[in-house]
Amino acid sequence: MYKTSRRDFLRFMAATPLAAWSFDCNKESSPPNIILIMADDIGYSDLGCYGAEIDTPHLDSLAENGLRFRQFYNMAKCNPTRSSLFTGHYWGNDRSTSIPLALKSAGYTTLLSGKQHFDGWVPDRCYAEQSFDKSYHFWATTEYFVPPDGKFSRPFYMNGKQLAPRELPAEQTPFYKTDSFTDVALQWMDEAIAQDSPFFLALPFHVAHYPLQARPKDIAKYRGKYRKGWDVLRRERFERMKKMELIGKDWELPAPTENVNQFRGHPGGFPEERAKFPLYRPWESLTEQEKDDYDLEMAVFAAMIDRMDQNIGRVVNKLKETGQFDNTLIVFFTDNGSCPYDSNKDFTIPPGPAESYRCLRPAWANVGNTPFRYYKQYGHEGGCNTHFIAHWPNVIKTPNIVEQPAHVVDLFPTFLEAAGIDYPVQVDGQPSLPLHGSSLMPIFKAQERQDPPFFISGHTERFRMFRKGDWKIVKLNLQEWELYNMDKDPTEINDLSQSMPEKLQEMIDAYHQAMQEVNQVSA
């Protein structure tokens, strides 16, 4: 029986010391630009290059000429994923620092244009105004268009100054958040390039988090394409993923799942609609009016992703126009699986325009998370396993689909190695908290990296997951641990907890030891 000991953990952390993480091309050329693009509440299969019917040509091109990961773990929810991403810690403390602060000390210009959202343990130094040279952001959730009353649910900030709606930067009218973030990012990229400074750009789009709002021309592109329904589309994506060799030909597609999260409530009002919202119903059992309504819902969701990809194309074109493309590391992923939760404000206003505030229902989110089970917050693969694309022509020479698993905590050490710098020894006079991940650079260079001792995800102990090798334990609604062999059962259909009690206990013991290693107090 194997247990992850402190000695094993520290041996792993020391196996690739940061001082040795510079590599030959950095000694002979300029440090690379690094662009981190993160989407929000998009399912594993919601990109064209991961099986979707949604048009994402720019992401598809990055994937086809770079790396696509089969298994890339997040923390299953917006704020914990961002907290772990920027600090490199599953859970940290006042000894944590952030990616932009480390890169800034090495001469990088650091830029943030997008969403900010952290857990309470993240120290102040990691927030936008303290860690980025320039920042344009909002907190957690807010609308895409300026609301009819001119009052966003949460405001936008530019370099620490709150912006009035009339002050929001927009090259196109009406203002649309995704376009605006890109407008600002492109301007700042130009300035950094003119100064001959390597830059780190964090571009955490809010797409496709609710509310479902999109430009009319983008919605029109998809209107009617979802009339065939979620049952057919889920199967089509599943078969397309097999042909792409993203998943094995022997993988099984689980039965559709409803939203069974017992801890996530919803607003009041509209009892009839709210009663239907979390349910799975066969598409053919719906009325024609329901089919039309739900087609619109998914068309808006697809339009939001399409618009994001258009803006990613703008960023890529800027890199090419300025001769920066080959020496820029671009990574793209999503903070968690697709979202099934009912935060609808008014069911009488259809999704799409500024006056609406609607959400994607679980049956569509289930399509997005193909081929996995469950959703955002869940430790099952539908919540914590997302697509991940890495593109860097100067280093990634062999486009491929990557089988080796990785986690958001691996990005901090990856970016440090890419920049050829070390992790800070001290943070404000205190010993810095050691990083919990390890660099993905061996994978980028078509090598095997040492397997991490474990992965942790799932939102709080209610939905916690722990993976060690091919074995995984996961909770659902704070119930007993489930046990899965991820090599033989990657879509988590066969719970082995009852038939393999010794293995279950071994994994539970390893989990508690791992939690001690990362200094986590159970939620």
The C-alpha atoms of residue 35 and residue 205 are separated, in whole angstroms, by 12
Number of Cβ atoms within 10 Å of the Cβ of 253: 18
> Which residue matches tokens 């486009």?
399
What pLDDT is recorded for position 519?
75
pLDDT in tens, 435-481: 999 999 999 999 989 999 999 999 999 999 999 999 999 999 999 99
pTM of the model: 0.94
The C-alpha atoms of residue 453 and residue 511 are separated, in whole angstroms, by 11
Asked whether 77 and 459 are in contact (CB, 8 A), the reply is: yes
At 18, the pLDDT band (50, 70, 90 cuts) reads very low
The C-alpha atoms of residue 451 and residue 460 are separated, in whole angstroms, by 25
The C-alpha atoms of residue 520 and residue 512 are separated, in whole angstroms, by 10
Instruction: Show me where the domains of the chain are located.
Output: 6-517
Average pLDDT over residues 20-26: 35
pLDDT in tens, 314-339: 999 999 999 999 999 999 999 999 99
Smallest Cα–Cα separation from 264: which of 343, 150, 382? 343
DSSP SS3 for 256:
coil
Instruction: Give me 420's structure tokens.
Output: 């050829």
Tell the CATH topology of 6-517: Alkaline Phosphatase, subunit A (3.40.720)
pLDDT in tens, 79-91: 999 999 999 999 9
Residue 9 has pLDDT above 50, yes or no: no
Residue 114: phi and psi, rounded to 5, are: 155, -150
Residue 4 has pLDDT above 80, yes or no: no
Average pLDDT over residues 186-192: 98
- 168 pairs with which residues across the strands? none
